């Protein structure tokens, strides 16, 4: 009787562990269908978005930006400040720009208001020049 009971328990345990293994296999299979594609998607997004967080002005050319600023922006800005130094707009309490995205938007707005047909590269270059020399945003 004892051996029958022991043998019967072993059979139940074997069946039970067999069912657990089947369920575990099923669960892993379902996770593989859902989890891994999402994980790959997340890594893909982070890989391509990450460089944009590093430097918002990475593609700008400072020398081109300075040249464009001096030719197209300085005269107007000089007239806006008593004493005629338009750079005061960037350095003083008059500053209204608080983020890198607002700086880029403002450069684009000013270019459009003055009829300048700048390409994205030129807007980024002027923004980079202003950031490197006056604002120093790092976001």
Q: Are residues 108 and 48 in the same domain?
A: no
Give the C-alpha distances (Å, rounded to integers) separating 81 from 74, 75, 84, 90: 11, 11, 5, 11
For 17-62, the pLDDT digits (tens) are 555 556 566 666 666 666 666 767 776 666 666 555 557 788 889 9
Q: Are residues 88 and 35 in the same domain?
A: no
Q: Are residues 98 and 119 in the same domain?
A: yes
Q: Are residues 93 and 129 in the same domain?
A: yes
Handedness of CA 84, 90, 94, 97 (dihedral sign): positive
Q: What percent of the chain has pLDDT over 70?
A: 60
* pLDDT for residue 4: 47
d(CA 10, CA 27): 25
Domain count within the chain: 2
Q: Are residues 76 and 22 in the same domain?
A: no
SS3 (DSSP) at 119: coil
Q: Are residues 125 and 73 in the same domain?
A: yes
Q: Which residue segment(s) compose the domain that 12 sits in?
A: 1-54
* pLDDT for residue 86: 84
Structure tokens at 42: 């997340």
């Amino acid at each position: 009787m004892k051996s029958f009971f022991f043998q019967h328990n072993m059979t139940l345990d074997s069946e039970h562990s067999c069912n657990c293994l089947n369920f575990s296999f099923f669960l892993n299979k379902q996770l593989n269908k859902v989890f891994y594609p999402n994980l790959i998607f997340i890594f893909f997004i982070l890989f391509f978005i990450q460089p944009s967080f590093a430097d918002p002005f990475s593609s700008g050319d400072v020398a081109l930006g300075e040249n464009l600023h001096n030719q197209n922006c300085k005269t107007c800005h000089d007239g806006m400040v008593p004493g005629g130094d338009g750079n005061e707009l960037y350095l003083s309490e008059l500053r209204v720009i608080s983020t890198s995205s607002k700086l880029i938007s403002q450069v684009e707005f000013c270019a459009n208001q003055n009829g300048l047909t700048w390409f994205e590269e030129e807007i980024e270059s002027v923004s980079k020049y202003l950031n490197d020399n006056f604002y120093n945003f790092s976001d």
